[in-house]
Amino acid sequence: MANNRSPLVWLGSKYRYVQDDQPLGRLFRSWNHSGLTFYEPFCGAAHATLCVTERNQKVFLNDDNWGVACFWTSVIRWPCALQNAFWSLRPSEDLFLKLRYLPHVPSDSSREEVIRCAANFLALNRWSVNGIGRVWLNRNSGKGANAISQIDWCHWRMSFLRIIDDRCHSLDWRQAVSDSRECLHFVDPPYILNGRDRYSCCFSVAQHIALRDWLMESSFCSWILTYGDVDEVRNLYHLDSEDLFSQTFDNVGRGCRNLGHQDGQLLVAKRPVP
């Protein structure tokens, strides 16, 4: 497999989990072979899209975080302009603290506004310890900025040429899913435990329940769901149901363990599973 690691740093990233030798990666590849449109309504770093979709497969990317949506839209549409906008920034603690409060960018924003938001979000992401903008990485160096020089912008653009509508959306997740036989959803929602302390976009209990209800009531589409393996999730999804396939797999790396998920990750899929 080519190295399709995302340029975004993300706590709880699924990059390691979607590799060929991991349970999630094997399930993707057994299911994802018939030209299904791939939906990732909580895309974040978009590792699942980058690593498991096929060359000619259509993809629908979405994330509640405006910065994420602007970043991937800029990668897809204006990669060179995004690179230039990022390099025009000068890392400092004052700038980092300012970027923590990025304004929402309306969907009809101009090209310049989207690129500016994308560059600011990338700076916030790469200059923080865990990629989500809570802690300044290094007060005395541009280490986070230097890492950007390793990004192959042309590669990322080529990876997303097949995306639907040529952009990443920032919609409520209900508008970013489809109950169609021609769709495969990878659903990686905000954590139930400790998510509010670490992410700017998080879910209430009611939102977790609403997502569960839609997944369980969807008639036709196929889906794969991942959560930290905690009792709250197991109680929510009633994993003894004959309609569900579930499997646990070990944490890879320390990001999930830092969120209190010592027992690993939980994979849930709608039957029938290949």
Burial state string for 51-87 with b = 16 or more CB within 10 A and e = fewer than 16: bbbeeebbbbbbbbbbbbbbbbbbbbbbbebbbebbe
pTM (2 d.p.)? 0.83
Which of residues 261 and 20 earns the better pLDDT score? 20
Cα–Cα distance between 186 and 223 in angstroms, integer? 6
Dihedral in degrees, nearest 10, Cα atoms 126, 128, 131, 132: -130
- Inform me whether the pLDDT recorded for 124 exceeds 50: yes
Q: Which pLDDT belongs to residue 1?
A: 44
Share of the chain above pLDDT 90, in %: 14
| For residue 7, cis peptide bond before it (omega within 30 degrees of 0) | no
Which of residues 170 and 201 earns the better pLDDT score? 170
Chain centre to alpha carbon of residue 80: 22
Q: Which pLDDT belongs to residue 246?
A: 86
Cα–Cα distance between 241 and 235 in angstroms, integer? 12
Q: Which pLDDT belongs to residue 40?
A: 93
Per the prediction, the chain carries an average pLDDT of 77
- Inform me whether the pLDDT recorded for 103 exceeds 90: no
In order of start, what are the domains of the chain with their CATH numbers?
23-270 (3.40.50)
- Inform me whether the pLDDT recorded for 34 exceeds 80: no
